[in-house]
């Protein structure tokens, strides 16, 4: 199955998720709808709701609660984007002006808080303890991951293992929760639920690894034009960890100086970019991602074959091939 087919098959389901997303933005504070609409209509791919819908279907769910739950997971993700953009002082999000640059940091922080709260509020009304356990665990671990990432800025001693812990917490746990929730809705057997949890963790890790690889890949052939976001912010990601493990002492010395100084110029960026190309650090990161994608697929072994399961494979391949 191709991803285009998945989008087509789920068109109506995803439209139902969109309806939940816009419906629950209504508030006595119109600024909430404005900011929420701005970021939610900014071209997100709804990967998390998509995974939740497919996981529910693959586990045999036939009800209609997966629309609301999909929107809840997307609200949590959106809240984290609003706060991330304030933290990274981002001016662009998905090619559009970021919410903080249009509405200010204050509105982004507070509407982020609202979306977090509203997501949990809506989930609580489902009166399902297991759903609340999963969601409240995911949001807590996510925020720990975000703090870990902040604390690791400029830390060039960060190991690949520590980096994977950050990535698992800040990104993979919510994607895993989306897959898990589908199985919970379907009242699936424990082995199926565990399969979905593990599947989600591995595609979640792959998703972030590819993001981190693309941040350097996007700069290739653009010497002197633009400095990658992660380098600019001093975020130590897998391409850099790999590079530091393989580069020569003199190169390492300069790379460390660039990260420690914290204000890279285009010369610095060109140098890092050149090293990353020479030591094949983007490829290494992509290969690691691919390996997580394959592991993820194997986790689905216990789940009965179905078109929804095929679609989950298609989404996995889509994640591994995405260009941004």
Q: Which of 271, 227, 314 is nearest to 50 (CA)?
A: 314
Question: Alpha-carbon distance 230 to 238, whole Å?
Answer: 11
Separation CA 239–CA 156 (nearest Å): 12
Asked if 3 is part of the footprint of a copy of itself (rule: CB under 8 A), the reply reads no
Contact 26, 33 (CB under 8 A): yes
The pairing of beta strand 96-97 with beta strand 92-93: antiparallel
Between residues 6 and 184, which has the closer beta carbon with respect to a copy of itself? 184
3-state helix, strand, coil split of the chain in percent (to 5) is 75, 0, 25
Site string for a copy of itself, 141-170 (x = CB under 8 A): -xxx-xxx-xx-------------x-----
Query: Dihedrals φ, ψ of 93, to 5°?
Result: -140, 120
**Contact status: 136 vs a copy of itself (CB under 8 A):** yes
Cβ 4 to a copy of itself, closest distance in Å? 36
CB of 14 to a copy of itself, least distance (A): 25
232 binds a copy of itself (CB under 8 A): no
Per CB under 8 A, the list member of 140, 159, 191, 266 interacting with a copy of itself is 140
Please report how close the Cβ of residue 195 comes to a copy of itself at its closest, in angstroms.
24
Window 164 to 223, contacts with a copy of itself (CB under 8 A): 165
Determine the Cα–Cα distance for residues 303 and 284; give it in Å rounded to an integer. Answer: 31
Binding mask 106-135 for a copy of itself (x = CB under 8 A): xx-xxxxxx-xxx-xx-xxx-x-x--xx--
Q: Is there a contact between 182 and 51 (Cβ–Cβ < 8 Å)?
A: yes
CB atoms within 10 A of CB 45: 12
**Residue 87 touching a copy of itself (CB under 8 A):** yes
Task: Please tell me whether residue 139 binds a copy of itself under the rule CB under 8 A.
Answer: yes
For 97, list phi and psi in degrees, rounded to 5: -60, 135
Residue 32 in contact with a copy of itself, rule: CB under 8 A: yes
Binding residues for a copy of itself (CB under 8 A) = 27-32, 80, 83, 86-87, 105-107, 109-114, 116-118, 120-121, 123-125, 127, 129, 132-133, 136-137, 139-140, 142-144, 146-148, 150-151, 165
């Amino acid at each position: 199955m191709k991803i285009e087919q998945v989008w087509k098959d789920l068109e109506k389901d995803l439209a139902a998720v969109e309806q939940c997303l816009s419906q629950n933005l209504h508030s006595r504070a119109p600024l909430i709808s404005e900011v929420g609409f701005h970021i939610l209509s900014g071209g997100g791919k709804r990967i998390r709701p998509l995974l939740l819908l497919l996981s529910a279907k693959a586990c045999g769910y036939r009800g209609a609660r997966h629309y609301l739950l999909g929107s809840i997971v997307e609200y949590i993700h959106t809240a984290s984007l609003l706060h991330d953009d304030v933290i990274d002082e981002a001016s662009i999000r998905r090619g559009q002006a970021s919410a903080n640059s249009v509405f200010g940091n204050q509105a982004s922080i507070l509407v982020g808080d609202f979306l977090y709260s509203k997501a949990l509020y809506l989930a609580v009304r489902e009166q399902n303890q297991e759903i609340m356990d999963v969601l409240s665990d995911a949001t807590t671990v996510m925020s720990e991951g975000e703090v870990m990432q902040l604390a690791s800025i400029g830390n060039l001693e960060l190991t690949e293992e520590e980096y994977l812990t950050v990535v698992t917490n800040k990104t993979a746990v919510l994607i895993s929760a989306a897959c898990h929730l589908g199985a919970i809705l379907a009242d699936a057997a424990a082995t199926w639920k565990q399969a979905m949890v593990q599947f989600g963790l591995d595609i979640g890790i792959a998703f972030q690894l590819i993001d981190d690889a693309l941040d350097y890949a996007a700069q290739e052939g653009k010497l002197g034009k633009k400095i990658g976001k992660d380098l600019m912010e001093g975020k130590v990601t897998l391409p850099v960890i790999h590079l530091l493990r393989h580069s020569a002492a003199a190169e390492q010395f300069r790379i460390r100086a660039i990260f420690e100084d914290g204000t890279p110029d285009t010369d610095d960026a060109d140098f890092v970019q050149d090293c990353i190309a020479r030591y094949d650090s983007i490829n290494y990161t992509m290969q690691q991602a691919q390996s997580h994608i394959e592991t993820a697929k194997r986790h689905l072994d216990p789940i009965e074959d179905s078109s929804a399961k095929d679609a989950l494979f298609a989404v996995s391949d889509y994640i591994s091939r995405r260009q941004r």
